[in-house]
Amino acid sequence: MNEVLTSDRPKARAGEAASAKKVVTLDETVVEIISDSGEGAQRCGQSLGAIAAKSGNGVWTVEIIPAEIQPPARSVAGASGNRIRIGSHRITNGGDEADLVVAFNEQVLLGRVRAGELKPGCIILLESMWRTNRNAAIAESYVSTHDQLVKAGYRVYEVPLELECRKLVKDPRKGKNMFVLGMLCSIYSLDLELGREQIAIAFGKKDHKVIESNTALLEAGFAWAEANLDLKYEIPGVPVTAPRMVMNGNTALALGVLASGMDICAMYPITPATSASHYLSDCFEKVGGIVHQAEDEISACAFAVGASYASKCTVTITSGPGLSLKQEAIGLAVMAEIPLVVINVQRGGPSTGQPTKPEQGDLFAAMFGSHGDAPKIIMATSTIEDCFYSVITARKLAETFNMVVVILSDANLATAQQPFPRPTFSEDWLAPPLDQAPVPAGARPYDWDPVTGLKRRFIPGQPGGMYTLTGLAHDRDSHVAYDPAVNEESHRSRSLKLAAFQRTLKPPAVFGDTEGDLLVVGWGSTKGAIEEAVTRLRAEGRKVGSIHLQFIQPMASGIKEIMQRYKKVMTVENNWSDDPKDEIINEDNRRYGQLAFILRSRFLIDIDCWTEDRARPIKPGTIVAALRAKLAQ
Amino acid sequence: MTLEATDCLVKLYEEHHNLEDYQGGVPRWCTGCGDSGILTAVQRLCRDNDLAPERTVFVSGIGCSSRLPHYMKTYGFHGIHGRALPVAEGIKLARPDLDVFVSTGDGDCCSIGAAHWIHAIRYNMNMVVMLHDNHVYGLTKKQASPTSPLGFKSNTTPRGSTLLPLNPLTVTLGVQNVSFVAQAVDWIPELLYEILAAAYKHKGLSFVRILQRCPQYLPKMFDPWLQDPQKSLILTHDRGVRPSAGLAKIYRNQQEHDPSDINRAREIASLEDPIPVGILYQNPDVPRYEELRNAGQLRTADYIKAGLEAEFDKFTIWPDGHDAPAA
Ligand SMILES: Cc1ncc(C[n+]2csc(CCOP(=O)(O)OP(=O)(O)O)c2C)c(N)n1
Ligand code: SF4
């Protein structure tokens, strides 16, 4: 640690400051920090998460992002910030309603109140400068909102953020966030030294003055809270014994690309996938990799297919609408049996849809989106750690089976941060060196194995392997062939590969009761929330369990047997399904959640679904209510 | 070891190729189709430059013209309609050591693939792009293409097409980073070959528009040029191409043109009668994307591991008492 940063600083540590406040020990808590965009609430939240993680706490952070870059100031829909759930144990999701909210103005706060994001009686720390605003309308809005909130039972503390920060910096808009971070360190008895470290990391690239002024703000916030607030909590952490990493899902995906040994990522910017490419652009080239930003997604995917054809497996990263544009090239890769990894960070809707909001809406598009029969492997990531390892697995599968592997992540995982054990590098992660050995005489480019459908791929540069890849129906020599038997043989071979891979899959592990009244089936980012809901219901004595599918295509054996051990089976998904209680909905026209649809058709079991599509991560409490209702049916 | 034996060994390892080494399947184009002449020219080009068939890739989209890779005995990639260029770029970025050729039709390149065409010029990757321009959609049986002449009666324009044709030469010459533009015609094999040979030698994206006859759907389209050599303006230069004495006697309408002069190139590109044949523009100094991006680096496991661990460090929380390694 740099001398400049540590000398002559108040050494305020947990419990050190002179306070006779009663310290309340919590098992876990949910904090939100919200502001207009550009006021730094996000950085404050991320820093709080990192400090808590370093203190040995379980952490999950959720970004609160408005769809616009610069929404009007003080607008209800403009809340920008972070939700941080901190626990004494491992935290796997963003939790239910917030216990404490720091708001930089009353309007963004109103947005969160209306969305039902605050617990009854939630503590609110509200910037008080608006009370005396020269604009009477603003002052009035503040006062009336404040009074309403107090009346509604929230514990509102007015905090003179602006006033206090102005004592230290000229432009408090740029510094309030670190003042708030200091306050939160005091409130949750976190080590201020970790806060200083975090500032050094966050502003590392800037000059010392910036670090110093932010550190001063941090300390001032801490001191202010110590002196003026009667809030003091402690969330005991478990001492960190092995190195862990904290990052969001998109960073983990990008690191997975690095670790998989792939050389090239071809992409076109689209939220929420882009941040993965941003980070990759920064770190990939340092190890000889290349991020190619193509002119559009069609080009990006065709580019990736071309690169894969001539070399190692390549990856393309996108979100929903981009996936649609890539489908033709994906179909070609399937037909020509070129390995390809497609990462789709799902979001809601077409055009710009709900670009910053989560939805598990692209399972069908991934599975059926290409023309004709296009068998490919589809896997879903369910934790941050999973985002990292999935890419390594996908690369390996793509090259072993000469297949397209689609990884489905989503906006929830993309921006959520969670600690996980630091991986230990293995050379097995990397793609083997390029095969440039001569092809044995008589070998053919599509010599499908009659049982597994597998064939060896010839790579340009290999003497004797010359063939012309084609998207047309082709025979074992890659010659265009329209005769019916050849067409069926090539279809069969491509399809068999999925079965060959399926034979290697183990049944998914059951969480909770291994038999009983209700089995929940999920996929993707809802894992933590589902398992938490199952845990809560079991604590009430209910017989429930859950499975979470990593591979949706192909699906492991044994799933049907697991389902048959429960009276009821239901999927929980963050996408659309018709509500059977709607007036004109009946069994003949009800549209199911995407996984439910697939499970029903595969297993011929009456699998129900409960889905929510509110453009936000599903809360465990909401799932508990849905499962209770299902159990009561 | 005797000298003869060494010679012998050298001979043994020295690949020498004949035309047959590049001849793949039997072409299935219509009789008289201009694509056959283009195929012959590229096969000659491969032989004369002794290209290793295993290090040569012919890429195409979809169309009659895009069948060309099937008739080569090199590696080939017959992909999807309009996307030959991105595929070729991916190949070249992954493997700068390979020789890449692209065959694309006027629909493939100038319509469905138009965005990729513009950007391929910008990337300026080292490859030869042959635009087989027959002014019509051949494979899908006679629809108007972006280069069809005004009034062209096709299956989608039974009363005649309503738009003026797009000029691929002027478009290409208008794009930043353009480095090589030429025009050839399938019915003058000598110049077609010379122009393609110059395109191959050029380092960067060589865009060669080849006027190509489609006797099936536009049988009379190029008759005026076939019948009257004066309607072709042969561009000559020491840094371009020069017709043989025999050819020069027939094609007497010639003009010295310095291919480094982009303004003159643009004027020539706009000519409708006579049409230019030869190299319009060449600039060997335009940077190539694969070089700008340092493509084709050797990446050892140790190299990747070191980079990865350094990234891990940025996100790692170390156990108490265990300090982060020095950054
Ligand atoms: C996505 C897609 N749209 C349409 C087609 C149908 N199609 C195939 S080739 C072609 C046009 C071919 O014309 P051109 O590129 O000029 O090549 P030519 O056949 O004349 O050589 C079309 C429209 C296709 N294969 N794929
Ligand atoms: S339709 Fe025209 S372009 Fe196609 S093969 Fe026949 S002559 Fe050639």
Tell me the pLDDT tens digit for each residue of A340-399: 999 999 998 776 667 778 899 999 999 999 999 999 999 999 999 999 999 999 999 999
The region that residue A153 occupies, defined by phi over 0 for left and psi between -120 and 50 for alpha, beta otherwise, is: left
Is B35's C-beta closer than 6 angstroms to any atom of ligand 2?
Answer: yes
- List chain A residues with CB under 8 Å of B306: 287
Dist. CA A298 → ligand 1 center (Å): 16
pLDDT at B323: 53
Residue of A198, A314, A338, A468 for testing the chain B interface, max B β-carbons within 10 Å:
A468
- φ, ψ for residue B76 (rounded to 5)? -145, 155
Instruction: Please measure the distance between the N-terminal and C-terminal CA atoms of chain B and give it in whole angstroms.
Output: 57
CA dihedral A95, A97, A102, A105 (to 10 degrees): 130
How far off is chain A from B12, nearest CA to CA, in Å?
A: 15
User: Nearest 10 degrees: CA dihedral of A372, A375, A381, A387?
Assistant: -100
Q: Quick one: tokens of A605?
A: 């079991």
Are A328 and A290 spatial neighbours (Cβ–Cβ below 8 Å)? no
Angle at which helices A176-187 and A192-202 pack, to 10 degrees? Answer: 150
| B294: nearest CA partner in chain A | A288
Amino acid identity, position A537: L
User: Which amino acid, residue A336?
Assistant: A
Query: Quick one: pLDDT at residue A21?
Result: 81
Q: Mutate which of B28, B140, B210, B213 to test ligand 1's pocket (most atoms within 8 Å of Cβ)?
A: B140
CB–CB of B308 and A258 under 8 A? yes
| pLDDT one-digit tens code per residue, A278-306 | 999 999 988 899 999 999 999 999 999 99
Task: Give the pLDDT score at A12.
Answer: 42
* CA-based R_g, chain B, Å: 23
What is the Cα gyration radius of chain A?
27
**Which residue does chain B place closest to A197, by CA atoms?**
B317
Chain B: nearest CA to A359, how far in angstroms? 27
For atom 2 of ligand 2, which residue has the closest CA? B214
Q: Tell me, what's the pLDDT at A69?
A: 72
Q: Which helix (H) or strand (E) holds A111?
A: helix A106-114
Total beta-carbon pairs less than 8 A apart between chain A and chain B = 195
Per the listing, tokens 């039997």 go with B26
* CATH number assigned to the domain covering A511-632: 3.40.50.920
B152 lines ligand 2 (CB under 6 A): no
Contact (CB, 8 A) for A131 and A144: no
B319–chain A Cβ distance below 8 A for any pair: yes
Q: How far apart are CA A412 and CA B126, in angstroms?
A: 42
pLDDT at A9 over 60: no
Please name the fold of domain B17-290. Rossmann fold (3.40.50)
Q: What local confidence, expressed as pLDDT, does residue B7 receive?
A: 52
Q: Which residues contact A435 (CB under 8 A, 6 or more apart)?
A: A459, A462
- Which CATH number among 3.30.450.20, 1.10.1040.10, 3.40.920.10, 2.160.10.10 corresponds to the domain A24-234? 3.40.920.10
Assigned token pair, B297 = 């680096």
- Could you give the CA distance from residue B278 to residue A369 in angstroms, rounded to a whole number? 45
Q: Kindly report the backbone phi and psi dihedral angles of residue A279, in degrees, each rounded to the nearest multiple of 5, phi listed first.
A: -65, -40
3-state DSSP assignment of residue A229: coil
pLDDT at A293: 98
Q: Which of B29, B62, B129 is the pocket-test mutation for ligand 1 (most atoms within 8 Å of CB)? A: B62
Question: How many other C-beta atoms lie within 10 A of the C-beta of residue A438?
Answer: 11
Searching chain A, which residue's CA lies closest to the CA of residue B55?
A461
Sheet holding B99-105, edge to edge: A468-470, B75-78, B56-60, B99-105, B127-133, B205-211, B180-185, B275-282, B232-236, B254-256
Q: Which of B51, B74, B83 should we substitute to test contact with A (largest number of A Cβ atoms within 10 Å)?
A: B83
Side chain identity at residue A102, one-letter code: V
Helix A527-539 to helix A620-632 angle (10° resolution) is 60
Chain B's closest residue to A284, CA to CA, is B307
Average pLDDT over residues A174-182: 93
User: What per-residue confidence (pLDDT) applies to A175?
Assistant: 87
The model's pLDDT over A552-569, given as tens digits with 9 standing for 90+, comes to 999 999 999 999 999 999
Distances (CA, A) of A205 to A99, A199, A246, B8, B308: 34, 11, 20, 63, 21
- The total of other beta-carbon atoms located within 10 Å of residue A425's CB is 16
Average pLDDT for chain A: 93
**CATH 3.40.50.920 location in chain A:** 511-632
Residue bearing the CA closest to ligand 1, atom 25: B81
Q: Looking at ligand 1, which atom is closest to the CA of residue B63?
A: 19
Residue type, A113: V
Cross-chain residue pair B95–A479, CB shorter than 8 Å: no
State the burial class of residue A482 (Cβ atoms within 10 Å of its Cβ: 0-12, 13-18, 19+): exposed
Q: Kindly state the average pLDDT of the residues A599-603.
A: 97
> How many angstroms is it from B65 CA to the middle of ligand 2?
8
Strands of A417-421's sheet, edge to edge? A155-159, A118-127, A98-103, A28-35, A80-87, A58-64, A417-421, A244-248, B316-317
Question: Domain A246-429 belongs to what topology?
Answer: Rossmann fold (3.40.50)
Residue B116 and residue A300: Cβ atoms within 8 Å? no
C-beta B64 within 6 A of ligand 2 = yes
Q: Parse chain B into domains and list their residue ranges.
A: 17-290
Provide the pLDDT for residue B324: 54
Quick one: pLDDT band at residue A438, thresholds 50, 70, 90? very high
**Which residue in B58, B64, B93, B108 has the most chain A C-beta atoms within 10 A of its own C-beta, making it the best mutation to test that interface?**
B93
Residues B274, B232 contacting (CB under 8 angstroms) = yes
Q: A334 C-alpha vs ligand 1 centroid, how far in Å?
A: 21
β-partners of residue A470 are B78
Angle at B288 between CA B285 and CA B291, to 5 degrees: 120
Ranges of chain B with pLDDT below 50:
1-3, 5-6, 8-10, 12, 326-327
Nearest CA-CA distance, residue A420 and chain B, Å: 9
What does the pLDDT look like over A470-525, one tens digit per residue? 988 899 999 988 888 999 999 999 999 999 999 999 999 999 999 999 999 999 99
Residue B74: list chain A partners with CB under 8 A.
466
CB contact under 8 A, A309 and B53: no
What pLDDT was estimated at residue A68? 74
- Going from the C-alpha of A482 to that of each of A473, A486, A488, B159, B248, the distances in angstroms are 6, 7, 10, 35, 47
Please tell me the number of the ligand nearest to residue B140's CA: 1
User: How distant is the Cα of A286 from the closest Cα of chain B, in angstroms?
Assistant: 7
**How many angstroms separate the CA atoms of A502 and A504, rounded?**
5
Helices (H), chain B: 3-13, 34-48, 84-94, 106-107, 114-123, 168-173, 189-201, 223-227, 245-250, 262-270, 289-292, 301-315
Main-chain phi, psi angles of A246, to 5 degrees: -120, 125
pLDDT tier, A18 (very low <50, low <70, confident <90, very high otherwise): very low
Positive or negative: CA dihedral A41, A43, A46, A48? negative
Distance from CA of B58 to the nearest CA of A (A): 8
Supply the pLDDT for residue B4.
54
Residue A414: both structure tokens together:
């993309």
With a pLDDT cut of 90, the percent of chain A lying above it is 85
Domain with CATH 3.40.920.10 in chain A: 24-234
Ligand 2 proximity of B36 Cβ (cutoff 6 Å): no
Task: Say if ligand 1 is within 6 A of residue B69 CB.
Answer: no
pLDDT at site A348: 84
Helices and strands, number each (H, E), in chain A: 20, 23
In a 3-state reduction of DSSP, which class is residue B250?
helix
pLDDT of residue B322: 55
Closest chain A residue to B115 measured between Cα atoms?
A: A295
- The distance of A290 to chain B (nearest Cα, Å) reads 7
Hey, is the C-beta of B95 within 8 angstroms of any chain A C-beta? Answer: yes
**B98 in ligand 2 pocket by Cβ < 6 Å?**
no
Alpha helices in A311-438 (DSSP H): 320-336, 363-368, 384-401, 411-415
The two tokens of residue A378 are: 């589809």
CB of B39 within 6 A of ligand 2: the answer is no
Give me the pLDDT at residue A66, please.
Answer: 80
Assess B16–A contact: CB distance below 8 Å, yes or no. no
| Residue with CA at minimum distance from ligand 1 atom 26 | B81
- For position A2, what pLDDT does the model report? 33
Q: CB neighbours of A344 closer than 8 A, spacing ≥ 6? A: A273, A318, A319, A320, A322, A323, A362, A366, A406, A407, A408, A409
pLDDT of the residue at A352: 64
| Nearest ligand, CA A328 | 1
Please tell me if the CB atom of residue B38 comes closer than 6 angstroms to any atom of ligand 2: no
For residue B60 and ligand 2, the question of a CB distance below 6 A is answered with no
- What DSSP character marks residue B112? I
Contacts of A560 (CB under 8 A, 6+ apart): A603, A605
| Other beta carbons less than 10 A from residue B153's beta carbon | 12
Give the minimum alpha-carbon distance from B168 to chain A in angstroms, rounded to a whole number.
Answer: 19
**Amino acid at the residue B211:** L
Neighbouring-strand partners of residue A487:
none
Flag whether pLDDT at A16 surpasses 60: no
Chain B residues inside the 8 Å CB shell of A460: 54-55, 57, 75, 91, 95, 98
Query: Model confidence over A207-238: pLDDT tens digits?
Result: 788 899 999 999 999 999 999 999 999 999 98
B299 to A287: CB separation less than 8 angstroms, yes or no: yes
Question: Do residues A48 and A81 touch, judged by C-beta distance below 8 A?
Answer: no
pLDDT (0 to 100) of residue A6: 33
CATH 3.40.50.970 in chain A, residue ranges:
246-429
Q: What is the Å distance from ligand 1's center to B122 Cα? A: 24
* Chain B CB contacts of A251 below 8 Å: 315
Contact at 8 Å (CB) between A302 and A329? yes
Cβ distance A566 to A627 under 8 Å?
no
Find the CB nearest A463 among B54, B59, B98: B54
Q: What percent of chain A has pLDDT over 70?
A: 96
Phi and psi of A134, rounded to 5°? -65, -30
Q: For the CA atoms of A135, A139, A144, A146, what is the dihedral angle to 10 degrees? A: 150
Evaluate: CB of B132 within 6 angstroms of ligand 1. Answer: yes
CA A47–ligand 2 middle distance (angstroms)? 65
